[in-house]
Structure 1
Amino acid sequence: MTAGAQISAVDLVQGQFDAYNAQDLDAHCAFFADDVVVADLNGEVTLRGIEAYRAKYVQVFGDFPQNRAELVNRIVVGNTVVDHERVSRTPGGETFQVIAIYTIAGGKIARVDFRK
C-alpha cells in the first residue's frame, strides 16, 4: 500500500504500520505530512517536520534492525486512529506497550501522540 489523498484514515495508519515493520523508511515516511508533529501524550512535542521524523527513524531502524510492532487493538473515530501496540526490539526479547494516537489531515498523518 502507498500513501495518497484518497486513502482512509485506517488505511493510512495500517500502511505506515506495515512499512514500519518492514523497516522501509521511504514508504513509512510517505504516510506522514511534511509538517508532522510527534508528541508525548499530554506532554512535550518531541519532533516537528518530516526531516526530523525521518532522522529519528533512520536511528531507530539502525539501532534495532529486528524491531517489530504487533497490533493489539485499534479504534477508529473519524480522522483519529488509536493503536495499542506491543513492540519487541529483538525476536524473543523483552516487549513494551505503546499507545499511538494518529490524527489525519489532508490525506496524511499530521500528528502522532504517544503514551509508553
Structure 2
Amino acid sequence: MSVEAIVQGQLDAYNAQDIEAFIPHFADDITVSDLNAEPNLTGLDAYRERHVNMFAQFPGNRAELVSRTVIGRTVIDHERVFRSPDATPFEVAAIYTFAGDKIARVDFVKA
C-alpha cells in the first residue's frame, strides 16, 4: 500500500470516528508534535486515548482535505477541521513521516 493510501485510510477512519480502523495506520511508537517543538505525545496507547476522548468530546468532528503533497515517504496534508457543524473551522498542516508501512510521526502546523 502506498504512503498516500495509508494517509487517506487514516483520514477516512478519523472522519468516521472509527478508532479501530484509525489506529492500525500508526506505529507502536508513534510520536506527535507541533512543528519544530518537542513531542507532546508518544506511543500508540496514548494516541488511541487522545482520539477516543476527542471523538467523545466532538462527535461532529471531521477534517476536510484541502490539498496533499507526497514527497518520497513523507505526506503533507493541508486540512480544514470542523469540530462541529456550527463551529468555525480551523486549518492545519499534518506532516506524516513513515517507518515501513506505518505512520511513525505526525508534526502539526495549526492556524
Q: Deviations over 1:74-99 (max 9, x none)?
A: 00011000000000111132100000
CA distance in 2 between partners of 1:104 and 1:16 (Å): 13
Aligned to 1:33: 27
Length, aligned pairs only? 110
Amino acid at match of 2:9: G
Aligned to 2:89: 95
Aligned to 2:8: 14
Aligned to 1:24: 18
CA distance in 1 between partners of 2:40 and 2:49 (Å): 12
**Percent sequence identity over matched residues?**
59
Aligned to 1:49: 43
CA distance in 1 between partners of 2:87 and 2:37 (Å): 29
Q: Deviations over 1:41-90 (max 9, x none)?
A: 00120110100100100111010000010000100011000000000111
Q: How does 1:62-101 map to 2 (within 5 A)?
A: 62-101=56-95
Structure 1 runs of 4+ off > 4 angstroms? none
What's the Cα RMSD here? 0.6
CA distance in 2 between partners of 1:89 and 1:23 (Å): 12
Query: Structure 1-normalised TM-score?
Result: 0.93
Amino acid at match of 2:57: D
Unaligned runs of 5+ in 1: 1-6
Unaligned runs of 5+ in 2: none
